[in-house]
Amino acid sequence: MTGSSVEQVYIDVAFVRIQRYLARTSRLRGRRSASAGMAEATDSAVIAARLPQGLAAANGEAGQADGIVSLKLVDPRPEGRQQRVRKVISAVLAELREEFPAAELQAVWGVGESYVSAYAHEIGPRTRRGDVEHVWYDLPSLPEFPAARLCPLCGMDPATEKARLPEAPEVPELVCADCAHRLRRGARAAARVGESRKKSAEQRLQELLEVDEAPDALENLAPLGAGDLKRNHLATVYIDGNAVGLFFKRLLAAAATKPALHDTKRELSRRLSELTEWSLLCATSQVLETMGPERSARLPVVPHVVGGDDVLVSVPASYAWAFVVEYLKTFDAEMRDSLVGPVNLDHGLDLPVPSASAGLVFARHGQPMYLLVDLAEERLRAAKRRTGGAASSVAFLDLTTEGPQGVDDSPLPLSVLGQDATLDALDRLHRLPRSLRTRLAQAMRDHDDTVSAEGLARRSGEFRAIEPFLPGRDGRPPRSGITLRHALRLVTWWRPLGPKARSRL
């Protein structure tokens, strides 16, 4: 911190456990309404303009993240600071609570010469510690009559309010307060088509890719999958950045001796959110390219959460790998070549390059969304453990064939999965008749080694298709870096990727 620096006061008010909140309802329309409503309701500039006495302004140093209101006190002086902070937090929480009755909310504040500094030294540590003096929690009210009839849309809270369902608007239905707000918000959005307002991530994708809006129900999204695979399955994809906090911590330490980095750290915080959106756009574009002649006129990816370095989407099962490989490759390449690389080069630094990891769950479209989100989060944590958060990796689960416990295959590093040779080998394995792949998988399960599977492949004249996944001599790993059992699981929902997804590592 320099002697001439003025300490600013930053306040973040955020939704907690966004993924679980959005997954309360089984209806895609309800989740879309909540997601779009959250994006609009957390527009920091709009919130700041409604605060009493001009207490705070939007924090322009923070990147765009749906579900987070980031503000900066207009008057940062220590005198009366806590009272001003309390007024701002109380007003924002009250406004969000009115619109999102079942959401968990949290507010935290900190002081620093920049937002990056305040977050690294105060906001982040206080949030992790649960510092009661600086962190506020606002939880949903407990139901007054627990034995009351449950809401038919979410099944989680008592049905206490009447609202009109889009498919049967003539007779109001009794639903819970949160679902009622989602329905009303959806109706208001439909009535305001064409008005200028903050767009959701889904709407931004739709406009940039020039496609029609995504289906309004998951059972209608699943059929957009490839014709040679089951069209009743979806993939829930949860992606999160690796070592992002460590990067900003190291950048902050470097800025202490290199004042020129102060503007850089503010810029990088904003650009991280832009990179997340750019990676989402490229991954969705790759899905459309992979569809080929089956390309849909509708958006085939439904983003539920896009904020900071977090992404949660639903995509037809047969195009999930196209989405994930392209997203991780784009994020890694742009982070290395456009964000961190130039900073290291210009300032003589050796800052770590953040990456991203993904958790995937394949399941029938009728599975409860809250279950899929929890399982995807478990897979994401497993993927991060695989590389210690130092590099991109992917872990997946097929709920239909493996159950919620899955199998013990190790998550796949992107350095293995993303190689052109590996992608070519997976393409060849995918082209085998499904009946042969099923018999190969059964041979692996029955004998717990590759000998029987190898013999079956030779008799079928398809040894070359499995050879990259067989162990080398003296027990060395397979040439592809993926075991045959793992590869057979993976290609269940595989589609050959277009050239855009290759040669990026």
- Asked whether residue 123 falls in the same domain as residue 56, the answer is yes
The CA–CA distances, whole Å, from 422 to 188, 461, 503 equal: 48, 21, 11
Average pLDDT taken over every residue of the chain: 87
pLDDT beyond 70 at 90: yes
Q: Which two tokens stand for residue 121?
A: 């030294």
Q: Which two tokens stand for residue 199?
A: 């767009």
pLDDT beyond 90 at 364: yes
Q: Residue 384, Cα to own-chain centre: how many angstroms?
A: 14
Residues in the chain: 505
SS3 at position 67: coil
CB 309 within 8 A of CB 65: no
SS3 at position 29: helix
pLDDT beyond 90 at 278: yes
Would you give the end-to-end CA distance of the chain in angstroms? 38
User: Quick one: pLDDT band at residue 199, thresholds 50, 70, 90?
Assistant: confident
Q: Which two tokens stand for residue 461?
A: 């004249």
Distance CA 441, CA 484 (A): 9
In the chain, pLDDT over 90 holds for what percent of residues? Answer: 50
Distance CA 237, CA 314 (A): 6
pLDDT beyond 50 at 3: no
Span 367-426, pLDDT tens digits? 888 889 999 999 999 999 988 888 999 999 999 999 998 888 899 999 999 898 999 999
The CA–CA distances, whole Å, from 45 to 34, 42, 57, 138, 219 equal: 20, 9, 7, 22, 37
In this structure, what DSSP letter does residue 158 have? B
Beta strands 393-398; 355-364: pairing state: parallel
Structure confidence at residue 501 (pLDDT): 56
Angle, CA 274 vertex, CA 269 and CA 280 arms, to 5°: 135
Distance CA 367, CA 377 (A): 16
Decide if 161 is inside a domain: no
Average pLDDT over residues 169-180: 88
Span 422-473, pLDDT tens digits? 999 999 999 999 999 999 999 888 776 788 999 999 999 999 999 999 998 7
Decide if 86 is inside a domain: yes
- Asked whether residue 246 falls in the same domain as residue 111, the answer is no
Decide if 190 is inside a domain: no
pLDDT beyond 50 at 4: no
In this structure, what DSSP letter does residue 494 have? -
Number of domains in the chain: 3
- Lowest model confidence (mean pLDDT) among 4-8, 168-172, 216-220: 4-8
- Asked whether residue 453 falls in the same domain as residue 475, the answer is yes
- Asked whether residue 364 falls in the same domain as residue 434, the answer is no
pLDDT beyond 60 at 149: yes
DSSP 353-409: --EEEEEEEEEETTS-HHHHHHHHHHHHHHHHHHHTTSS-EEEEEEHHHHTTT---P
Structure confidence at residue 47 (pLDDT): 93
The CA–CA distances, whole Å, from 256 to 93, 252, 259 equal: 35, 7, 7
The Cβ of residue 189 has, within 10 Å, a number of other Cβ atoms equal to: 18
CATH number of 324's domain: 3.30.70.270
**pTM of the predicted model as reported, rounded to 2 decimal places:** 0.82
Structure confidence at residue 2 (pLDDT): 43
- Asked whether residue 428 falls in the same domain as residue 478, the answer is yes
Q: What is the 3-state secondary structure (H, E, C) of 82-93?
A: HHHHHHHHHHHH
Average pLDDT over residues 226-245: 86
Nearest of 154, 151, 150, 182 to residue 166 by alpha carbon? 182
For residue 457, the enclosing domain spans 419-505
Average pLDDT over residues 180-201: 72
- Lowest model confidence (mean pLDDT) among 75-84, 98-107, 138-147, 192-201: 192-201
pLDDT beyond 50 at 485: yes
Which of 101, 117, 138 is at the close of a domain? 138
Span 287-325, pLDDT tens digits? 999 988 778 789 999 998 887 788 999 999 999 999 999
Decide if 179 is inside a domain: no
- Asked whether residue 256 falls in the same domain as residue 300, the answer is yes
